[in-house]
Structure 1
Amino acid sequence: MKRYEEQRVFLKSNFDEFKNVKTDKMKGIPEPSRTKGYDKSSKFIDLPEVNEGVLKNSNIHDCIKNRRSTRFYADENISIEELSYLLWATQGITQTNKAGLTLRTVPCSGATHSFETYLFIMKVHNLKNGLYRYLPFEHKLLFLSELDGIENRIDEITLDQPFVPNFTKKAAVLFAWSTIPYRSEWKFDTTAHKKILIDVGHVCQNLYLASESIGAGTCAIGIYDQKMIDGILGLDGDEEFVIYLAAVGKKQR
């Protein structure tokens, strides 16, 4: 029971602990970058402007009611317009306030937005299969690399899924959210980590509802090979690492 008790403490509000902490922000240490850098000579893909034309169902009541984890996908591409919408729905910037903080389509503790969105693309019209990163400030995709045998690599990454084995490689896109914890630690110190886990839940729920609205399905994935996926994406596994996955594809009719 002791190991349960230790983890249960993590689930509780730690505001009293935070009141006695002097954060790096309070110490005057410069804020970490709010976005991950990239080589300006990289290949970029302009995403279509987000609009309601991609919606199959704009009734939020129905989207909430019908939302399910979807593990069976049609052998069908999603459009780049639909992908643009899903990315905007999960990390899109809708406003920047006077302090320079980005306000997005998802809530986030202290507007720290510690996440980066990586994509394993397999079935998207007019996009080459491979690895990409979403750039929310520019609303563009950054092409990272091709990945030989991408479906099989995804199968290896997602290990033995308990309900429907091997379903992830049949999706159109695998979303992989990494966290750069110091973006939140700078402001919240050791209390940041609970906030990060809560915030990534907000992101994934938006993906579920947005997918439902375009006739697609999503399944969140918490069972995966940490070292393998961090290695494939070139992450150091400490200052940045994958924290959550979600498969997306058109639903079987």
Structure 2
Amino acid sequence: MMPSSPPGPGSPGTGQEFMERTKYRSIGKSDQQKGVPQPLLEVPPEPDRPCIELRRPELLEIPPLDLRTAIERRRSVRAYLHEPVALDELSFLLWCTQGVKQTFGSQATFRTVPSAGARHAFETFLLANDVEGLEPGLYRYLALSHRLQQRDTDPALARRVASACFDQQFILRSGVVFLWTAVPYRMTWRYGERGYRDLHLDAGHVCQNLYLAAESVGCGVCAIAAFDDDVMNGLLGIDGTDQFLIYLATVGKKEEGIPVAV
């Protein structure tokens, strides 16, 4: 039997089917409309793993940078200096990408990035390669308390991540890698299957904040969407269904004139 060919122009493919089946006319009542209790605002921290307090955002001394200047400088940077990212700089970048500005009991949070219906369905993992004060390894950001929780200090982990991202070696040369995972039910509880569209929109909001905020601390960023989903979810210890990796980005110190790519 001949292998099937990919759909041609006008032929329905997976992407087109997704768009069709997530139109409002195809979606019934959401769990919120059915009166189902909403999911937790954050995956609870694991009780047996150490946590690291981060300096509160209001106490951080970050050089001011004009927004227009940050936008003009924004590039995707894949080459980094052999210089660590400071823990306070990391604290600032975490706050800029998922920082909680206000909490409304167990119902909602207002954060530093927009999210459909203030659902904020992301969890942030960090692969620390060269961060002052952090042992290299995998961490999770606890946004509600502005802390880090250590997850895995296997020295081979960074190479496994790079391999799962199709051998993009600049991952190993970065100071830290941001890995955003989605908890889809946090979004679909309100919006049904259309919530999956919102997850991908929200990922763009978060990563652009990282690009712009990094300019204030002399760092460059490169977003990565090419990765083996199953392998990466396994490395992060998540199931790939109730929680899955949606986007990641490297961060590292840069200098003027360093090779960049838009």
TM-score (norm 1): 0.90
Q: Supply the AA of the counterpart residue of 1:179.
A: A
Native 8 Å contact 1:86 1:211 kept in 2: yes
Structure 2 CA distance for partners of 1:57 and 1:251, relative to 1, 3 Å:
farther
Among 141, 144, 147, which residue is 1:137 paired with?
A: 144
Among 33, 37, 59, which residue is 2:40 paired with?
A: 33
Distance (Å, rounded) in 1 between the aligned partners of 2:11 and 2:192: 23
Q: Secondary structure of the residue that 2:226 maps to in structure 1?
A: coil
Distance (Å, rounded) in 1 between the aligned partners of 2:11 and 2:114: 31
Whether 1:75 and 2:78 are equivalent positions in the alignment is no
Give deviations 1:172-231, integer Å, cap 9, x for gaps.
001110001011111000110111100111000000001111110000000012111111
Distance (Å, rounded) in 2 between the aligned partners of 1:192 and 1:139: 26
Counterpart of 2:253 in structure 1 is 250
Whether 1:100 and 2:107 are equivalent positions in the alignment is yes
Native 8 Å contact 2:97 2:113 kept in 1: yes
Distance (Å, rounded) in 1 between the aligned partners of 2:171 and 2:199: 25
| Unmatched 5+ stretches in structure 2 | 1-8, 257-262
| Unmatched 5+ stretches in structure 1 | none
Deviates more, 1:53-62 or 1:27-36: 53-62
Native 8 Å contact 1:122 1:150 kept in 2: no
Q: What is the CA RMSD across the aligned residues, in angstroms?
A: 2.2
Q: Supply the AA of the counterpart residue of 1:17.
A: R
Distance (Å, rounded) in 2 between the aligned partners of 1:58 and 1:241: 34
Whether 1:195 and 2:198 are equivalent positions in the alignment is yes
Distance (Å, rounded) in 2 between the aligned partners of 1:80 and 1:24: 40
Task: State the aligned residue count.
Answer: 248
Structure 1 residue 149: deviation in Å?
2.3
Distance (Å, rounded) in 1 between the aligned partners of 2:82 and 2:92: 21
Structure 2 CA distance for partners of 1:13 and 1:105, relative to 1, 3 Å:
farther
Native 8 Å contact 1:172 1:249 kept in 2: yes
Distance (Å, rounded) in 2 between the aligned partners of 1:79 and 1:99: 32
Distance (Å, rounded) in 2 between the aligned partners of 1:54 and 1:249: 19
Counterpart of 1:111 in structure 2 is 118
Distance (Å, rounded) in 1 between the aligned partners of 2:230 and 2:21: 30
Give deviations 1:46-71, integer Å, cap 9, x for gaps.
00122485534511110011100010
Q: Supply the AA of the counterpart residue of 1:195.
A: D
Structure 1 residue 16: deviation in Å?
4.1
Distance (Å, rounded) in 2 between the aligned partners of 1:11 and 1:220: 24
Structure 2 CA distance for partners of 1:51 and 1:74, relative to 1, 3 Å:
farther
Distance (Å, rounded) in 2 between the aligned partners of 1:11 and 1:201: 18
Between the two proteins, what is the percent identity of the paired residues? Answer: 38
TM-score (norm 2): 0.87
Counterpart of 2:4 in structure 1 is none
Native 8 Å contact 1:113 1:184 kept in 2: yes
Structure 2 CA distance for partners of 1:194 and 1:245, relative to 1, 3 Å:
same
Q: Secondary structure of the residue that 2:214 maps to in structure 1?
A: helix
Structure 2 CA distance for partners of 1:70 and 1:13, relative to 1, 3 Å:
farther
Whether 1:159 and 2:186 are equivalent positions in the alignment is no
Native 8 Å contact 2:218 2:255 kept in 1: no
Distance (Å, rounded) in 1 between the aligned partners of 2:58 and 2:103: 20
